[in-house]
């Protein structure tokens, strides 16, 4: 509908102009017809300029409207110039009039070229583009006014009076350069990528050039062709106006309509969105109130003290926190330093954990500390610390559980366990001491009877029994004394650097007689001939003898014991492996605890107090080593002693030194091994 209206308006203007000019030219006077023609051209120029300026902001028609604005301005001022010339001079125009016209014409062309190049240069900047067009219109009007004011009516001696051919050539050159520059700048800015833009550009410029040429032809058109010239010029002007008005105003109106529709749709959507957000906000408020109520109830019923720590100060606390710190009111502990309530000896640890939480080195930590109360008392608590997942402000959540009662209970349990341990210890001592003493006493009674009866050949049997149980008593007393020294930290360690390969081989050799009597085979092997360790040889000797005695006790007849030495990770590893009854998995965890004995089928022949392996572990640790055990029931057991490989030249033994093991030591350690 808008296109039809725009098209009808241009036809009405065209018909009105043609009718008036035709009537005046044929029925009234040529001069009046020419004056009417100039008035119509002036009207069309004003309409083109106004339409272009009005539509200059339209995005899709910016190229067309820019050209329309520039050329419309040129048409306007050329028409004004012709009107003034027509009013000043009588028809026909003389050479002086030509010169005057071309003086104005060349100024318009120069200004038009400069403005066109600037417009295309800043085409992508709508505000600059429109500003240049307005400046062009205003500047041309000012230049035109000044030129017409200072130019005298008698222009015979006009300084600008140059040959007409010069003006024509100059105008052609300037227009050609302007067109080339405009197209080059427009192409650089990708204004002519679309075929439609290129078509509009050349179509409008062609119309513009034809119209401007028509202004020049007005000076050379005689009376014979004056009517055709006026019809030609008006037709071109109306076509130019029609193109600008159709493609700019309609497009601009369409854009405005689309913008209004989009605005209305956006407003509707925004109203719906605001209504939805209002409903969401109301729902969130209800949820927040619900969560806040749950949070308050949770804080109240949470059984432990809870503190929220921000910037090292207590930001929030529940009722149990007030009770734990024995404050009269919760407000009394808020915004006070949390560290003030931590015992001095525990503050460094707590501060270290808090810093690690801030650095995300750990997610949470649980420690036992003492906390100071408002009444200057100390409470044992289990403190759980974690970092809040909220971004700002960063807060530490601290949960404190009063474990004073638990500590008291633990102490009671420890006291009970200690008393039980003491009772077991004394029972074990009494039993272990009583058994060999009874055997010795019984053996002496039997010997007295044999002496009385004169059976002297049987006395030696009981002498062996007495001797073995004396060794057993001596071993038991030595073990008890060693335990006491180790626990009292009065155990003397005398280290020396020695080849443990030779030492182990000698110790194994000293026990072969016991193995042979039980028909047990032994094998010794080593990866290295020399492995030096700085150790207390007596401690290692007693450790190996104890392990070998256990291997003999719990290995049935016909079995075998392997002893081999390896070097791994700068450690000397002594392996003692047997084919005995083995140790159950649950017993392997407590095998090195004191007074632990494993019940098996050989218990009657394997007496002991259950402190041997505990002492072995202590002896190995005094030599800076560790002991490990692995076992399978009914297949055998393997003990591994790992000692650091170390040479201390100050304690290095002579290379020719041979460790001598007294048989008495072997007899003492093997005193609880009963052989047939």
pLDDT score of 566 = 95
- What's residue 406's pLDDT? 78
Task: Look at residue 623 in the predicted model and tell me its pLDDT.
Answer: 93
Do 676 and 552 meet the contact criterion of CB atoms below 8 Å apart? Answer: no
- Phi, psi for 453 (deg, rounded to 5): -85, -10
pLDDT band at 403 (very low <50, low <70, confident <90, very high): confident
Q: 316: closest CA among 306, 327, 326, 324?
A: 306
Fold for 2-255, please state it. Answer: Rhopdopsin 7-helix transmembrane proteins (1.20.1070)
pLDDT band at 349 (very low <50, low <70, confident <90, very high): very high
Residue 78's nearest CA partner among 101, 97, 95, 96 is 101
What are the residues whose beta carbons fall under 8 Å from the beta carbon of 126, sequence distance 6 or more? 57, 62
Any residues with CB less than 8 A from the CB of 178 and at least 6 apart, and which? 112, 113, 116, 117
Q: Domain 409-486 belongs to what topology?
A: Helix Hairpins (1.10.287)
Out of 397-406, 428-437, 579-588, 650-659, least confident range: 650-659
**Based on the number of CB atoms within 10 Å of its own CB, is 89 exposed (0-12), middle (13-18) or buried (19 or more)?**
middle
DSSP state of 593: S
Q: Residue 390: its pLDDT value, please?
A: 62
Confidence category of residue 60, pLDDT binned at 50, 70, 90:
very low
Give the torsion sign (CA, 49, 50, 52, 57): positive
Q: Which pair of structure tokens corresponds to residue 431?
A: 């039993």
Q: What mean pLDDT is predicted for residues 491-516?
A: 90
Shared fold status for 2-255 and 409-486: no
Q: Lowest mean pLDDT of 192-196, 207-211, 656-660, name the range.
A: 656-660
pLDDT (tens digit, 9 = 90+) per residue, 173-199?
656 665 666 566 556 656 566 666 667
For the stretch 420-438, pLDDT in tens is 867 776 777 777 777 778 8
How confident is residue 609, by pLDDT bands cut at 50, 70 and 90?
A: low
Q: For residue range 536-565, what is the model confidence (pLDDT) as tens digits? A: 999 999 999 999 999 998 899 999 999 999
Contacts of 319 (CB under 8 A, 6+ apart): 299, 300, 330
Q: How large is the average pLDDT for residues 132-145?
A: 65
Over 50: is that where the pLDDT of 571 sits? Answer: yes
Angle at 155 between CA 149 and CA 157, to 5 degrees: 120
Highest CATH level, class, for 302-402:
alpha beta
pLDDT of 146: 63
pLDDT exceeds 80 at position 527: yes
Domain layout of the chain by residue ranges: 2-255, 302-402, 409-486, 492-669
Give the pLDDT band of residue 243 (cuts 50, 70, 90): confident
Share of the chain above pLDDT 70, in %: 63
pTM of the model: 0.42
% pLDDT > 90, the chain: 17
User: Strand runs (DSSP E) across 496-625, as ranges?
Assistant: 496-499, 521-526, 532-535, 560-568, 571-578
Closest CA to 23 of 14, 31, 33: 33
Among the residue ranges 122-136, 367-381, 433-447, the one predicted with the least confidence is 122-136
The predicted structure's pLDDT at residue 665: 76
- Convert the pLDDT of each residue in 64-104 to its tens digit: 555 555 555 556 655 655 555 554 444 444 555 556 555 65
Instruction: Give 128 or 6, the one with higher predicted confidence.
Output: 128
**CATH fold for the domain made of 492-669:** Heat Shock Protein 90 (3.30.565)
Question: For all residues of the chain together, what is the average pLDDT?
Answer: 75
């Amino acid at each position: 509908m808008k296109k039809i209206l725009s098209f009808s308006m241009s036809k009405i203007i065209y018909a009105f102009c043609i009718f008036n000019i035709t009537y005046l030219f044929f029925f009234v006077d040529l001069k009046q017809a020419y004056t009417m023609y100039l008035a119509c051209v002036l009207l069309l120029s004003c309409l083109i300029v106004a339409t272009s300026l009005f539509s200059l902001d339209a995005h899709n028609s910016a190229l067309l409207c820019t050209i329309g604005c520039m050329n419309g301005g040129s048409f306007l001022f050329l028409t004004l110039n012709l009107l003034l010339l027509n009013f000043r001079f009588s028809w026909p125009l003389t050479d002086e009039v030509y010169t005057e016209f071309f003086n104005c014409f060349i100024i318009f062309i120069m200004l038009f070229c400069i403005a066109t190049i600037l417009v295309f240069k800043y085409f992508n900047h709508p505000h600059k583009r429109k500003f240049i067009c307005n400046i062009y219109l205003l500047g041309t009007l000012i230049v035109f006014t000044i030129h017409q004011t200072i130019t005298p009516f008698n222009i015979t001696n006009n300084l600008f009076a140059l040959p007409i051919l010069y003006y024509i050539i100059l105008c052609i050159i300037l227009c050609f350069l302007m067109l080339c520059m405009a197209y080059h700048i427009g192409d650089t800015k990708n204004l002519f990528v679309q075929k439609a833009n290129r078509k509009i550009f050349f179509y409008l410029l062609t119309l513009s050039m034809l119209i401007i040429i028509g202004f020049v032809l007005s000076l050379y058109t005689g009376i014979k062709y004056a009517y055709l010239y006026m019809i030609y010029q008006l037709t071109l002007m109306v076509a130019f106006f029609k193109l600008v008005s159709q493609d700019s105003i309609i497009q601009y109106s369409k854009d405005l309509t689309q913008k209004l529709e989009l605005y209305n749709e956006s407003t509707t959507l925004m109203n719906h969105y605001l209504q939805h957000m209002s409903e969401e906000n109301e729902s969130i408020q209800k949820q927040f109130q619900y969560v806040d109520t749950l949070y308050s109830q949770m804080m109240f019923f949470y059984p432990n003290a809870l503190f929220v720590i921000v910037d090292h100060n207590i930001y929030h606390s529940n009722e149990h926190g007030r009770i734990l710190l024995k404050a009269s009111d919760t407000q009394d502990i808020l915004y006070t330093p949390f560290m003030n309530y931590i015992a001095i000896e525990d503050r460094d640890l707590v501060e270290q954990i808090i810093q690690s939480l801030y650095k995300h080195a750990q997610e949470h930590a649980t420690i036992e500390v003492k906390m100071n109360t408002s009444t200057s008392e100390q409470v044992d608590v289990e403190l759980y610390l974690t970092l809040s997942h909220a971004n700002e402000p960063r807060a530490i959540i601290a949960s404190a559980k009063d474990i004073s009662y638990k500590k008291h209970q633990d102490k009671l349990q420890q006291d009970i366990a200690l008393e039980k341990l003491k009772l077991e210890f004394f029972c074990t001592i009494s039993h272990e001491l009583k058994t060999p003493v009874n055997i010795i006493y019984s053996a002496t009674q039997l010997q007295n009877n044999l002496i009385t009866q004169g059976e002297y050949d049987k006395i030696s049997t009981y002498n062996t029994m007495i001797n073995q149980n004396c060794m057993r008593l001596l071993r038991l007393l030595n073990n008890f004394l060693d335990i006491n020294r180790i626990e009292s930290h009065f155990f003397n360690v005398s280290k020396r650097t020695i080849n443990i390969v030779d030492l182990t081989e000698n110790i194994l050799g000293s026990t072969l007689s016991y193995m042979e009597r039980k028909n047990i085979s032994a094998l010794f092997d080593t990866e290295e001939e020399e492995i030096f360790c700085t150790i207390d040889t007596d401690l290692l000797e007693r450790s190996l003898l104890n392990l070998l005695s256990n291997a003999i006790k719990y290995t049935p007849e016909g079995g075998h014991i392997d002893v081999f030495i390896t070097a791994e990770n700068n450690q000397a590893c002594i392996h003692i492996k047997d084919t005995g009854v083995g140790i159950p998995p649950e017993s392997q965890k407590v095998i090195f605890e004191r007074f632990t004995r494993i019940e098996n089928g050989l218990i009657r022949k394997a007496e002991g107090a259950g402190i041997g392996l505990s002492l072995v572990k202590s002896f190995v640790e005094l030599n800076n080593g560790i002991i490990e055990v692995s076992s399978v029931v009914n297949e055998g057991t393997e003990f591994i002693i790992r000692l650091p490989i170390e040479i201390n030249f100050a304690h290095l033994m002579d290379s020719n030194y041979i460790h001598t093991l007294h048989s008495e030591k072997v007899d003492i350690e093997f005193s609880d091994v009963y052989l047939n």
